[in-house]
């Protein structure tokens, strides 16, 4: 006969099932937490103005490497910033300003979830930079790190529209347009009051540039506006003119003639033989014709042709 389990063992099993048994002692691995890196007073001293530019840049590069891989102790970021902020002054040489911007980018990438309201502070550093048209590429890299390339604008919601319009005046490049696509897709509600101005600036870029890359990315921004926001009615005319011009750009003419009519664009187009920018223009027009502005778009095109 099988041996009957004792009452004590049954009791222990029931406790185990109900989670009332003896608690398991945490292992050393579970007890250990990532240690915080301490920015010592010696490091801060090496970053002070009296230590010379070359030495400060050298120490900043070391702090950059640390910031990407280790979590700093509380208030360490503020201490580092106070020690190096003078190097962003307009009179400082470009290598000094670039070193600070590189440090900011590394801190944001490595300490991002700990920054909290400091995100808004660093954003204002980039936005209010003087002179405003200097170091655009480096500043944009900091902004991309700060917002995950336009997807996350936590703490920046109230100022993002102003920043977008400002940057469109000083640095409207394809790199920024890629970021702008994400801003429109993920945060379009914070741009509502400025969409009309933004669309007009994008259309002007399309009409003035000769770069097919710029046109393609600009059309992606317009597509995001149509899909994730609402194309303002006062921008419809310049929007239509821009799309019509795009399919008549010299580089796209041969492909353009393969499309019978902008109103009857095939759902699937062979992009090996058709310019991608042409494809985007045609698909974008289809989308507009399917919105509440569809009839107005047709009327606008007819009016443009009559005026010609």
Taking the CB of residue 138, how many other CB atoms lie within 10 A of it? 19
What is the arithmetic mean of pLDDT over 268-276? 45
Query: Which of 64-73, 102-111, 207-216, 243-252 bottoms out in mean pLDDT, i.e. has the lowest?
Result: 243-252
Run of H or E including 214: helix 212-228
What is the arithmetic mean of pLDDT over 208-232? 90
pLDDT, position 255: 40
Is the pLDDT score of 135 beyond 90?
Answer: yes
Domain ranges of the chain: 37-147, 173-308
pLDDT, position 305: 85
230 Cβ contact list (under 8 Å, min separation 6): 195
Rounded distance, CA 230 to CA 192, Å? 8
Query: Which of 12-16, 26-30, 57-61, 304-308 bottoms out in mean pLDDT, i.e. has the lowest?
Result: 26-30
Is the pLDDT score of 256 beyond 60?
Answer: no
Is the pLDDT score of 15 beyond 80?
Answer: no
pLDDT, position 180: 97
The percentage of the chain sitting over the pLDDT mark of 90, rounded to a whole number, equals 59
pLDDT in tens, 140-187: 999 999 999 999 999 999 999 999 999 999 989 999 999 999 999 999
Beta bridge partners, 72, equal 37
Burial of 174 (0-12, 13-18, 19+ CB in 10 A): middle
Taking the CB of residue 130, how many other CB atoms lie within 10 A of it? 9
The closest alpha carbon to 187, from 215, 218, 160, belongs to 160
Taking the CB of residue 37, how many other CB atoms lie within 10 A of it? 16
pLDDT, position 274: 40
């Amino acid at each position: 006969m099988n041996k009957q389990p004792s009452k004590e063992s049954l009791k222990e099993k029931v406790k185990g099932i109900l989670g009332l048994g003896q608690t398991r002692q945490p292992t050393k691995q579970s007890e250990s937490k990532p240690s915080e890196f301490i920015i010592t007073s010696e490091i801060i001293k090496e970053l002070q103005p009296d230590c010379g530019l070359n030495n400060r840049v050298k120490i900043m590069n070391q702090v950059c490497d640390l910031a990407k891989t280790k979590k700093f102790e509380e208030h360490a970021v503020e201490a580092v910033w106070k020690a190096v902020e003078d190097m962003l002054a307009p009179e400082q040489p470009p290598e000094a300003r670039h070193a600070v911007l590189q440090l900011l980018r590394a801190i944001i990438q490595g300490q991002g979830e700990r920054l909290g309201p400091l995100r808004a502070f660093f954003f204002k550093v980039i936005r209010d930079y003087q002179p405003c048209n200097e170091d655009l590429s480096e500043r944009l890299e900091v902004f991309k790190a700060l917002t995950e390339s336009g997807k996350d604008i936590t703490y920046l919601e109230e100022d993002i529209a102003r920043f977008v319009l400002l940057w469109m005046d000083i640095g409207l490049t394809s790199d920024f347009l890629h970021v702008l696509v994400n801003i429109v897709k993920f945060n379009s509600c914070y741009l509502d009051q400025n969409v009309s101005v933004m669309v007009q600036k994008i259309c002007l870029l399309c009409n003035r540039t000769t770069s097919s890359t710029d046109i393609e990315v600009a059309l992606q921004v317009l597509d995001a506006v149509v899909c994730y926001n609402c194309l303002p009615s006062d921008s419809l005319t310049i929007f239509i003119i821009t799309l019509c011009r795009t399919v008549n750009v010299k580089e796209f003419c041969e492909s353009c003639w393969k499309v019978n009519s902008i109103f009857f664009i095939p759902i699937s187009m062979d992009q090996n033989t058709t310019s991608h920018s042409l494809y985007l223009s045609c698909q974008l027009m289809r989308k507009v014709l399917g919105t509440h502005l569809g009839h107005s778009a047709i009327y606008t095109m007819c009016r443009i042709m009559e005026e010609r």
